[in-house]
Structure formats: C-alpha cells, structure tokens
Homo-oligomer: A and B are copies of this chain.
Amino acid sequence: MQFATRLDNVETSAIRELFKLLGKPGIISFAGGFPDSAMFDVEGLKEASAKALAEEPGGALQYGATEGYDPLRAQLSAFMKGKGVEVAPDGLIVTTGSQQALDLLGKTLISPGDKVIVEGPTFLATIQCFRLYGAELISAPIDAEGVQVDRLEQLIAEHKPKFVYLIPTFGNPSGAMLNLERRRKVLELAVKYGTVIVEDDPYGDLYFGKAPPPSIMSLTAEVPGSRELVVHCGSLSKVLSPGLRIGWMIAPPELLAKATMCKQFSDAHTSTFAQATAAQYLKSGRMPGTLAHVRKVYAERAAAMGAALKRELGDAIAFTQPGGGLFFWARLTGANGKLADANVLAKRAIEKGVAFVPGAPFFAEKPDLATLRLSFATANVEKIEEGIARLGAAL
C-alpha cells in the first residue's frame, strides 16, 4: 500500500518511546499530561448518565446534530458566561475533546504551506496536528508571563500567518500565564493585522490562588473588531473527565459553519451519550464543588513540587512556580558543572525510578535541550517529594 506523504511530516513521537519505559515497577511518573483519576466525580457522573438515559433516552442514544446536543450547548453557554464570555448556545459547537477542535481548525483553515504561529514551546499534539495539514509552524518565544508580544508582532508582520495559536493560561508545557496587558495587546495585534487568534483554554479553571486574568475571548468585549477574529477552545477533560471527550469551540459564525461541515464528515457528531451525561452533570450544580476540590489538591501538589525542586536541585534548575494548571516547566542551568541536557537526564532519571518529559519535542523550531516538563497532577505529596529526591540524585 502507498500512503499519503503528509504523514511524513509528523515525527514518531519521542515521548511514545519514553512512555514505553513507564511500565517499570516502582517508577514515579511526572511524565503524564493527564488529570488524576482519583479526582473524578464518579458518583456525580453515574447519577448524570443514569438521569440522561432515564429522562432523554432518545436524545442520548440517537444520532444528533453535528453542532452538538442542544441541552449541552445551553449548559456550556451558561458555563462560559460564568467565566465572563457571552456566547449564545448556537455560537459554539461541541467537539470530541478539544483535540478535535484543533483538527477542525486545521482541516478548515490550513492549506499546505500556510504559516501558523505557535508558542515556543507549545502543546505537542498541536504541532503534529497542524503539520499533518501541511502547515509551516513559526515559534513565538514565551516567558513566565506568556508570549512575548513585541516579538509576536514582528513575526505576524513578517510571516502573515493563517492564525496564531496560544495556550495563554497555564500553558502545556509552559505553565505560563499571559498577563492582562499582553492579552489586550494580542487582541490589538489581531485587529491591526487582521490575524485570527486561537485561544486554547483547557487549564484556565485550574488556578491555585487568585483567578487568572479574563480569557482573551472575554476581553474581546473591550477591543472593538476583535471578537470576529478570536476562536476559543474549551474542554471538560482536565476539570471533569477526559474519557467523556467533551470539548467545545467558540468562533465567528462563518468559521463555525465551515468547521461544522468538516466535523460532519469527521465523526458525524460527538457521542450524544457523553454529551447528555455532561449536560446533566453541569445542570446538577456539582461542577463548582468539583472545581474547588481539584484546585485545592493540585495547589498542594504544585507547592510540594516547587519546594522539593528547590531543596533537591537548588541552582541546577530554574523555573517559575506555576499559578495553576498541571505542569512545571523548568530549565537545567548547568550550574556547578551539573548536567544541562534534559534528554540525558531523562534516561538517568528512569534508572533512579522517576520519569519526566524532556522539553525538546514541545518546540516547533530550535529545541532548547535544557528544558523539561514535570507534571504534579497524578502523584500525591509524598510521592512528589520522593520522586524529586530521585531526580536530584539522578542529576
């Protein structure tokens, strides 16, 4: 058989290879990018699915509209309103996880050779998803305050990208949070250059102290002409359950209609069974309690990891304590002649019984080999302390 050459643009993930080693007994893993299963509200979801099947078996089990199940679209509209975004139920479509929103953006917007600006570093599956459609990715540098907007402007002016993709709030892998001033500037750039901004926001609800600045989408209300240039992708995966595969996309009407057409031929519609369950869950009023719980637990774990990294690795590692999300993004400094190559450290760490992901694959261009991503989501405080001690020993 012959295969389309577009697959040749996608590297076999280095991370896949690493993950094969995770089966080794006793490994403490900071490598995953997923929430802790122990935090799923199983009871709440059990009630929600039973109620969906009892009250609306037709809706939950029959084919549904490609745009999404109306009761869920109404709940998501209310959920977004609680986060400062005014969007009518028909101003969003339900996607099969926010991964599908990325895929639909690629399918709808990217022609081979088109340029797309992403953060350097950015979400690995985004890089691969957009490349599959033939995009050339340009990296805009970031710091702990998110994307550097002056550099972003230069890149937009130079490359005239099809769109700019950002994870502005507790990004994966960066953990960075785009500050308010930069958020406004991003919108001004969108209007100035007529550039579409895609805001991917799976982590915004997972803040530890005070809430992050308003989303880029909610700030469009302050910047005339910007709303029609912003796409916002949301997800229940990190806050409720990835297994439901419920994401959503808010976008200008024309783009939403084209994305819906693409979705029709991608999977017809997202599982109505999962959609009806999610709608009942949101309606049940349990979500605020669930969010408060996960925020508290992840905040403790993040605090423990930060303290342990300082204690065990000292000035051999540099990082900014994340204010939310699931990740520490760190850089080996090479201080005192210590190792500064995260790929080498990853192998040594596995031998010592701890795993993390080297940062290189998260860069669409010029990888920084000294960087690494550590997730604090799935290990408890005790394991985090033990794991970071092992990491110190490996270094």
Which of A's residues lie within 8 Å of B, judged by CB? 1-7, 10, 34-35, 37, 40, 42, 45-46, 49-50, 53-54, 57-64, 95-97, 99-100, 102-103, 107-111, 125, 128-129, 132, 162, 196, 229, 237, 241-245, 252, 254-255, 258, 261-262, 264-274, 276-277
Contact = CB atoms under 8 A, between A and B. Distances in A.
Contact of A99 (B62, B102, B267): B267
Contact of A267 (B10, B34, B60, B96): B96
Number of copies of this chain in the oligomer? 2
B242 A61 contact: yes
Contacts of A40: 57-58, 61-62
A243 B37 contact: no
Given A3-B258, A50-B46, A108-B3, A103 B265 contact: yes
B4 A109 contact: yes
B63 A243 contact: yes
A271 B274 contact: yes
B267 A97 contact: yes
A6 B272 CA distance: 28
B37 A5 contact: no
Contacts of A3: 108-109, 254-255, 258
Contacts of A128: 264-265
A100 B267 contact: yes
10 contacts: A3-B254, A34-B63, A40-B57, A46-B54, A64-B243, A102-B265, A125-B268, A242-B272, A266-B267, A273-B273
A243 B267 contact: no
Contacts of A262: 7, 132
A6 B262 CA distance: 10
A245 B266 contact: no
Nearest to A269: B245
Contacts of A242: 61-63, 268, 272
A58 B60 CA distance: 22
A49 B53 contact: yes
Given A1-B255, A42-B53, A273-B277, A61 B244 contact: yes
Of the listed residues A129, A273, A276, the one surrounded by the most CB atoms of chain B closer than 10 A to its CB is A273
Nearest to A131: B265
Contacts of A61: 37, 40, 42, 45, 241-244
Given A62-B34, A245-B270, A273-B244, A265 B132 contact: yes
Nearest to A244: B273
Contacts of A277: 273
Contact of A271 (B1, B35, B46, B244): B244
A4 B108 contact: yes
Contacts of A37: 57-58, 61-62
Of the listed residues A162, A243, A262, the one surrounded by the most CB atoms of chain B closer than 10 A to its CB is A243
A277 B10 CA distance: 33
A97 B35 CA distance: 26
Contacts of A59: 243
A265 B109 contact: no
A132 B95 CA distance: 19
A266 B268 contact: no
Nearest to A130: B265
